[in-house]
Amino acid sequence: MSRRTHVYIVCSPRPRIGKTLAARLLTEFYRTSGRPVLAFDLNPDQTLLAYLPRFAVAADVRETRDQMALFDQLIVPDEKSKVIDLGTGAFDRFFEILQNLDFLEEARRRNIETVVLFAVNPDQLSIKAYRMLLQQFKNITLIPVLNEAFVRGFHYRNDFPAQRAVAVPLQIPLLSPFIRSIVDTPPFSFSEFRRGLSDDIPEHLAGEMHSWLKRAFLQLRELELRLLLEGLQASLHDHEQI
């Protein structure tokens, strides 16, 4: 049996709250570990593609042909992780298609696990969208993402509850403004910086960047381990039912 493939949907109904940064970190986490990954940029300005031109492709869901091209790639159990940077304007349409296709169940039959990383924001639109996902997709893995640059000190648990043990929130640490300005300028690469192939960060600030990246990647590694454990438990349960 092939290894489980993961499809990560990084999303929010609100713009400019660090969604693309989370998608970049996740994609480069897989790059750093030398594992195959493909990112899909569903933003009109193709921001993710500007950062990761070799590991991301532009995608759309406005036309039926584009929808088929995207979902045909997502449903392939090729052991290549997929990361979707879901543009704000495509949020409602994407999840409508996901539901109409019964994508989650079909994906599970092919040993593909869908994980939604929801960038939280303390406004009613975000809270309503999060609850909609919980209600419409009962078995979805829905994980809050807190970017400290936007929601520092926000008490999110009541408005963005975790529905399963695997859904431990991810926290993107705060960066100093100067480093953040460099990180936010394409084509800055986290994986190239970590491998010593980038000198964009001044030497006297490199320690802060390494510490920040280590903390972010550690959380992603722990998420991956939780997903693996949950998958093993599900497989054992299915085997016992036979």
pLDDT of residue 234: 66
Q: Give CA separation, 220 vs 69, 129, 195, in Å.
A: 28, 24, 18
- 67-104 per-position pLDDT tens digit: 999 999 999 999 999 999 999 999 999 999 999 999 99
Q: How far apart are CA 74 and CA 15, in angstroms?
A: 24
Average pLDDT over the chain reads: 92
Give the pLDDT score at 153.
72
| pLDDT tens readout for residues 151-171 | 877 778 888 988 888 999 999
Q: What confidence score (pLDDT) does residue 151 get?
A: 83
3-class secondary structure, 4: coil
> Please, are residues 22 and 29 in contact by the beta-carbon 8 Å criterion?
no
Give pLDDT, residue 242. 53
Place of tokens 């091209």: 69
Of the options 3.40.50.300, 3.40.50.150, 3.10.350.10, 3.30.70.100, the CATH number for the domain spanning 5-241: 3.40.50.300
Tell me if residue 37 falls in helix, strand or coil. Answer: strand
Q: pTM here?
A: 0.94
Q: Is the previous residue joined to 187 through a cis bond, with omega within 30 degrees of 0?
A: yes
- Report d(CA 181, CA 200) in Å as an integer: 11
pLDDT digits (tens, 9 = 90+) for 200-237: 999 999 999 999 999 999 999 999 999 999 877 766 65
